[in-house]
Amino acid sequence: MEDFSAGSLWALKVWLYLIISLIMIPAMFGFSLGISETYMTILMKILEWATVKIQKANLDVELKASASNGLIQREDGSMEKELGELRRSRPKPPVGGDFTLSDCFYFSRKGIESIVEDEVTQRFTSEELVSWNLLTRTNNDFQYISVKLTLVYGLGIFVRYCILAPLRLTLALIGLSWLVIGTSTVGLLPNSRICARGLSAAICYHNRENKPKKGGICVANHTSPIDIVILCNDSCYAMVGQIHGGLMGILQRAMVRSCPHVWFERAEMKDRHLVTKRLKDHVNDKTKLPILIFPEGTCVNNTSVMMFKKGSFEIGATIYPVAIKYDPKFGDAFWNSSKYSMVSYLLRMMTSWALVCNVWYLPAMHQQEGEDAVQFANRVKSVIAHQGGLIDLQWDGGLKRAKVKETFKEQQQKKYSSMVVGDDSSSNSD
């Protein structure tokens, strides 16, 4: 029994020594031993090999199906343009008319398409992959194609759950403990990347000359709570959010001791004037860190950018846009909060292959003369979507849980009625 205890203690010492010497110290001082790069190279070759094995198994049809954007093949162009094309072939008044009963079929088809596959719901489910990444979240049983692929799949489970997960959990615990205990002297410590290492994060930062500066607001698209770790790995920010209890509350109190963040009570979050004033006071103090805000207000599945809330664009501060795009081949970074708790989500992240993403710092933007907060927010959103290769959507991410506002329904009804009576210029062309 004593020999077993001594052996366990020796194994623990070796484990901690390897973590400290090979990961923590290099991460603290900003240099790399090449371990992460070698790991990513080997992983890429394995995934490419698995893809080739699948293609040789005559599954090209299934792969193309999984790569499609959805169930419905939609035509390009707006509804006004499509309806205008239909009306061009009709007789002109007085023989014909702007509206015919056949128009009902067109609107019925568009309505059914929206019900079967709307643009909002599909933004809150994991994006589909062209090929299998040896993770269990795939819907296809690719691991049973060949004996070799099955063996690699089984080896992958062992590596992810028995090696990578314990390593990442250890690093995450060390990083969080360090954050809580060392807040009083955090300003004197070297820049730490331990939390990012705890997720095997491989991050590529572009255009660092555009990094957010003090006295401004950094806005970014939102895929995961890990977005904060990704951005704070390269710079420091002041956070904005609601005060929580439990572990999150401990972290918030620890963070506010090291630098001023903007935390609100639940009742205060509903007071827009109070929130705006607190944000203005923070931005006007040039000694404080730039504020980090995710204007979408919810996590979106790494394929799109949804409507930005206008609050952070009403302050009149300099806006520093940032685009974040994750590579889904190595793991699904999207947090579906209605399906996974925070603990189960972090477990999935720590048992994935890696967290690979690109971050683009975009040039600072200012509100133009005659431009209101909504227009400014849409302009910033469009720039972020274009840079990240994401779909720019006007829908509010709050529709994930809330119903559509009546005012928005009325706008769509007016739009459809104008199309029916033929107010659109395209219907009267030719």
CB 150 within 8 A of CB 143: yes
Check whether 147 has a pLDDT greater than 90.
no
Nearest to 24, CA basis, from 237, 170, 161: 170
Cα–Cα distance, 290 to 276 (Å, whole number) = 15
Mean pLDDT of 109-129: 71
Sign of the CA dihedral 47, 53, 56, 58?
A: negative
On average, the pLDDT of the chain sits at 76
Check whether 187 has a pLDDT greater than 80.
no
Phi (first) and psi of residue 419, to 5 degrees: -70, -40
State the pairing for strand pair 318-326/355-361: antiparallel
Which is more confidently placed, 162 or 264?
162
Between 217-226, 263-272, 367-376, the lowest mean confidence (pLDDT) is in: 263-272
Mean pLDDT of 189-213: 73
Mean pLDDT of 350-372: 90
Beta strands in 294-403 (DSSP E): 304-305, 318-326, 355-361, 391-392
Between 34-38, 185-189, 343-347, 400-404, the lowest mean confidence (pLDDT) is in: 185-189
Mean pLDDT of 104-127: 71
pLDDT tier, 427 (very low <50, low <70, confident <90, very high otherwise): very low
Q: For residue 385, how many other CB atoms are within 10 A of its CB?
A: 18
- pLDDT at 67 (0 to 100): 41
pTM higher than 0.75, yes or no? no
State the helix-helix crossing angle for 246-258 and 165-181, rounded to 10 degrees: 50
Check whether 154 has a pLDDT greater than 80.
yes
- pLDDT at 36 (0 to 100): 78
Which is more confidently placed, 421 or 338?
338
**DSSP structural state of residue 405:** P
Beta strands in 34-99 (DSSP E): none
- pLDDT at 384 (0 to 100): 95
Cα–Cα distance, 201 to 34 (Å, whole number) = 14
Q: What is the largest CA-CA distance in the chain?
A: 102
- pLDDT at 377 (0 to 100): 93
Mean pLDDT of 176-190: 60
Check whether 142 has a pLDDT greater than 80.
no
When mean pLDDT is compared over 251-255, 273-277, 365-369, the highest value belongs to 365-369
Which is more confidently placed, 390 or 134?
390
Check whether 201 has a pLDDT greater than 80.
no
Mean pLDDT of 40-44: 84
Nearest to 173, CA basis, from 16, 284, 301: 16
Residue 34 backbone zone (phi > 0: left; psi -120 to 50: alpha; other: beta): left
- pLDDT at 360 (0 to 100): 95
- pLDDT at 376 (0 to 100): 93
- pLDDT at 319 (0 to 100): 93
| Domains of the chain and CATH, by start | 149-399 (3.40.1130)
pLDDT tier, 164 (very low <50, low <70, confident <90, very high otherwise): confident
CB 362 within 8 A of CB 207: yes
Cα–Cα distance, 250 to 267 (Å, whole number) = 20
pLDDT tier, 337 (very low <50, low <70, confident <90, very high otherwise): confident
How many angstroms separate the Cα of 408 from the Cα of each of 83, 281, 403? 22, 34, 11
pLDDT tier, 42 (very low <50, low <70, confident <90, very high otherwise): confident
Mean pLDDT of 294-311: 88
